[in-house]
Structures are given as structure tokens and as C-alpha cells.
Amino acid sequence: MLPDLPFDPACVLIDGTWRRTTETIAVSDPSCGKILATIARGSARNIDQAVAAATRARDGDWGRTPALERGRILNRLSALITDHVDALARTEALDVGKPLSQARADAMALARYCEFYGGAADKLMGQTIPYLEGYTVYAMREPHGVTGHIVPWNYPMQIIGRSVGAALAAGNACVLKPAEDACLTALWFAHLAQEAGLPDGALNVVPGYGGEAGAALSAHPGIQHLSFTGSVATGRAVQIAAGANVVPVTLELGGKSPQIVFDDADLDAALPFLVAAGLQNAGQTCSAASRILVQRGVYDQVAQAMATAYRTLRGGPALDNPDIGPLISAAQKDRVQEHLNQAKGLTMLAEGVLPDNLPAGGHYMAPRLYGMVPPDHPLAQEEIFGPVQVLIRFDDEADACRIANGTAYGLVAGIWTQDGGRQMRLARDLRAGQVFINNYGAGGGVELPFGGHGLSGHGREKGFEALMGFTTLKTVAARHG
């Protein structure tokens, strides 16, 4: 059961007021398929109202709130999130189907984002620029104004933290469209933000379908910046819609991220990262290490060790804190199954265990590990977004780099080797927004700028860099003689 929610989940939040919508959406618990809550089905009209409210906040109280005070509000919000971590984690586990400990980590990350951006708000400075004799020139960082945030279902709290947290710190007024499958913690976040003292209209939340509220937000002429995380197809649609208004977009669209294991790697250290970074959140992670590239000399050893680890993995309902929870929905399970239908002819090295007594309506899928997968096979090229990893064998460094860079994506990469020169060469040559050496963060680290190349998207969120993305630069040139 859900904890007692201190807000009405069938509402949108616009201009500080929780309003019921005429139409609603029933959302279910992925662990059992039963109805969990009824949420608002936000409309294009609600988006209009939310953008208008954000515009008033930008031009009013919020726009005049000093950076120090914005930071204090975010720090109070961080403390409130920390106070509610258990309830937020339980809500997320039930809404997304993610194991309770992972949901708890997400809630802690949300608090940490607010702390990080709260601390950074008054340290965002401009530049003075040497220019001609008799001039003083400076460039100041300004918020875009009204920012739109379209968030997926896989990591709602983390993605809200890294985009809305940074946007508010920089002084923007936000309109947030959470995913229709998982919006409860987004609403809870907004409720706590009100309690922390965020002025009305600085954060507006409109849950609803992508094709309705999402499309209306991405095409809205009153938005000055859009941040989108989700699928490539939707990301393209969002960019095209925003393009019509010449609005800048940050896109984070997933990946096919490799971890590369060389013969000289510390395998004991690598093994837990190889498996966990692929299967966290049942593989529904944009930065999942879904390809494991292994050098010939240790290939059999790594394959055997990973297969052994897989056979101990247990699926189960999110609140039981299993190794692998259910997938978010029946539709997502069907999508993963469609990918797996292409696996005919491949060697399945191991499969996890699904206990017999799982709730019948849950969307469970045993994790699968495939071995000796050709680098150009669809399972080694396409983002599956489910509990599936492929092992690919390589011969030397050049081979590894070519295979690692050989997909349309470029989000994260991991390197396991003791050779310092090789670490540096690959860190330089890998086409990825983040490279981890002898560890793998799965996008982790609030402080670490994150984003992709190619179909993984563009722009950077997280870290101090996100503040740059949520601001624009105004140059002031004064001629004074």
C-alpha cells in the first residue's frame, strides 16, 4: 500500500494551487498489476495555464528572489526530502516497481541534488572581459526564464533533481511534465517545495500523457528552454517541436554503454560492477552497461563468473527488495521481448530465477546474459531497456575501442585495466559523455556532468555544468572613456 500522500494525486499544481482535472489516468503497481492511484490527465490547456503561471513567477517574486535565498529554499527542500526518504522510497518502489533499496537511493539522490544546487546557486558568476581602451565589459549569467522539463518513468526523482533542481537554482521558473506511468514522487517533490517556501508558480507540475501534455509543453512558445529525458523517437519529436519556436533543448536519450575488461584487469573488483551496472532497475537505465567487452585472455573466466552471478539473481516484488524488480509495464515487457526475439542463434550463458509465487499481474522478466555476441548483432546495437546484457570478445585495444564506439549511441563507458597509458588513450578516444576507469557509475554522482553523443542526445546535466545549461550569457559593454 502507498503511504498516506499529503497531496491529492489526481491534481495538477499550477500557480501554487492543486486543481483536479476532469479526466484522470489510473496507474498500476508493476509488481502486481493492481491499481495504485488515480492521477490527473493534464491537458494542453493546463500546460497553457502552467506556462502563464511560470511566466508571472519569472517576472514577479521568483524572478526577484536573490540567489542566496534561492539556495536556502533548495537547502530547506533537501532537508524535507531527507525527512521523508522512507515514504518517498516506498512510493517510488510501488509506482516504478524498482527494488526498495534502489528507490531509497533515488530519494537520497534527490535530496543531494537539492543540496548541491542549493549550495551552488550563489556561486554562479559571470566574467569580466578585457576589451578596448575606455570600455568595461562583463558577461552575466541569467536564467533562461521559463523552462520545461519532460521526465521519464525510470528514475523520476533523480531526473527531477538534476533538471528542476539546477533550473530553480539558476533562477528559472519551471513547468514539469512527469511520466504518466510514474508521477507520484514528482507531485510529492512539488508539495515539499511549497513547504520549503518556493513561491507560487516557480514550479508547476502537469502530469498526463506524452501526446497531450508533453506535446503541448514541447511546442509551447512561452517556454525558453526544454529538458527532455526518454526515448530517441520522442526526443526527436520534442526537438522538432521546440525548433519551431527556436527554443534550445537538452536531450538525454539513453545508450548502449560498454564496460571494457582487459586481460590485466582486477577481475574481483570488476565483477560486481559488470553485473550491477547492467541490471540496476531491471536494466531500465539509460546508462546501463548493457555491453560487456572482454579481452580474449580472460573472456572465459569473466563469462563464467558473470553466469554464476546471474544464476543467483532473484526477481520479486519491489517492496521485498529483490535483486530484480518487475518492468514498469506490460508494454515495456513486450518491447523487451521483441528485442529478445532476435536472439535466436545466440548462446544464452545464464538466466536469473523467477520464484513460482510471484504476483500474477506483475511484469516480471528473468535477467538474461548472452555470450560471444557479434558486435553488429541487433542485441549489441539496440537499446533494450530491460534485464539483458551481451558479452563481446575482443583481441586488442584498437579492437576494443572500435567496437565500443561502434553503435549510434555514446553515453557512458567503463574501462577495466591496470595499464595507465591505456586508461588515458581510451579515455581520450571513447565516444562517450562519461568514462569511468576501474569503476562504473551508471550515470552516478550528482557532481559529475552527464550527457551524450549521437543518439544519446546532447547538452549536459548534473554537476556545475548543468547550471550553465540552465542559464544564458548577457554581455554588457560600457564605453566610458
Chain residues in the site for ligand NAD (CB under 6 A): 150-154, 177, 179-180, 210-211, 214-215, 218, 229-231, 234, 237-238, 252-254, 286, 332, 335, 383, 385
Closest CA relative to residue 410, chosen from 447, 449, 457, 442: 457
Q: Cα separation of 307 and 303, whole Å?
A: 6
In the complex with ligand NAD, the residue whose CB is nearer, 71 or 178, is 178
CA–CA dist 307, 367 (Å, integer)? 11
Q: For ligand NAD, which is the closer residue by CB, 234 or 434?
A: 234
Q: Are 257 and 292 in contact (CB under 8 A)?
A: no
Q: Which is nearer to ligand NAD, 18 or 153 (CB)?
A: 153
Minimum distance, C-beta of residue 309 to ligand NAD, in the bound complex (Å):
24
**What does 412-453 look like in DSSP terms, one character per residue?**
EEEEE-S-HHHHHHHHHH--SSEEEESS--TT--TTS-B--S
Output the CA–CA distances (angstroms, integers) from residue 186 to 92, 156, 181, 255, 458, in the order listed. 10, 7, 12, 24, 24
Please state, in angstroms and as integers, the Cα–Cα distance from residue 464 to each residue in 238, 308, 315, following that order. Answer: 25, 40, 37
Query: Closest separation between CB of residue 180 and ligand NAD, Å?
Result: 5
Please identify which of the residues 11, 286, 397, 401 carries the catalytic annotation: 286
Grid cell of 211 as nine digits: 501526446
Q: Are strands 412-416 and 258-261 parallel, antiparallel or unpaired?
A: parallel
We find the least distance from the C-beta atom of residue 234 to ligand NAD, in angstroms, to be: 3
- What is the closest distance, in whole angstroms, from the C-beta atom of residue 479 to ligand NAD in the complex? 46
Which CB, 200 or 383, lies closer to ligand NAD? 383
d(CA 469, CA 473): 10
Nearest CB to ligand NAD, comparing residues 335 and 458: 335
How many Å apart are CA 401 and CA 298, to the nearest integer?
A: 17
Closer Cβ to ligand NAD, 231 or 321, answer by number:
231
Distant-in-sequence, close-in-space partners of 159: CB < 8 Å, separation ≥ 6: 151, 152, 229
In whole angstroms, the minimum distance from the beta carbon of 382 to ligand NAD comes to 9
Q: Which of 241, 231, 273, 249 is nearest to 383 (CA)?
A: 231
State how beta strands 457-458 and 249-252 pair: antiparallel
Q: By C-beta, is 110 or 121 nearer to ligand NAD?
A: 110
Catalytic residue flag (residue 212):
no
> Which residues, 6+ apart, have CB-to-CB distance to 399 below 8 Å?
none
Nearest residue to ligand NAD on Cβ basis: 210
> By C-beta, is 71 or 469 nearer to ligand NAD?
469
Q: Whole-angstrom Cα distance, residue 43 to residue 212? A: 6
Catalytic, out of 252, 383, 397, 461: 252
The nearest distance, CB 151 to ligand NAD, in angstroms, is 6
Query: How far is residue 417's CA from residue 257's CA, in Å, rounded to a whole number?
Result: 17
Q: How far is the CB of 416 from ligand NAD (least distance, A)?
A: 24
DSSP H stretches of helix in 170-253: 184-195, 215-218, 232-244
CB of 407 to ligand NAD, least distance (A): 14
What is the distance between the alpha carbons of residues 113 and 178, in angstroms, rounded to a whole number?
Answer: 18
Separation of alpha carbons 450 and 212, rounded Å:
29
Is the separation of the CB atoms in 156 and 186 below 8 Å?
Answer: yes
Q: Which is nearer to ligand NAD, 314 or 335 (CB)?
A: 335
Query: Minimal distance in Å, beta carbon 420 to ligand NAD?
Result: 32
Residue 328 CA to its chain's centroid (Å): 15
The set of catalytic residues is: 252, 286
